[in-house]
Amino acid sequence: RNEGLLSKQKRSRRMKANDRERNRMHHLNSALDALRSVLPTFPDDAKLTKIETLRFAHNYIWALTQSLRLA
User: For the chain, which domains are there?
Assistant: 2-70 (4.10.280.10)
Instruction: For the chain, report the end-to-end CA distance as a whole number of angstroms.
Output: 74
Distance CA 27, CA 33 (A): 10
Evaluate if pTM is beyond 0.85.
no
Q: What is the pLDDT of residue 36?
A: 92
Distance CA 47, CA 59 (A): 17
Distance CA 25, CA 19 (A): 10
Task: For residue range 12-70, list pLDDT tens digits in order.
Answer: 999 999 999 999 999 999 999 999 999 988 777 788 999 999 999 999 999 999 999 99
Q: What is the pLDDT of residue 1?
A: 67
Residue from 30, 1, 49, 10 nearest 22 by CA: 30
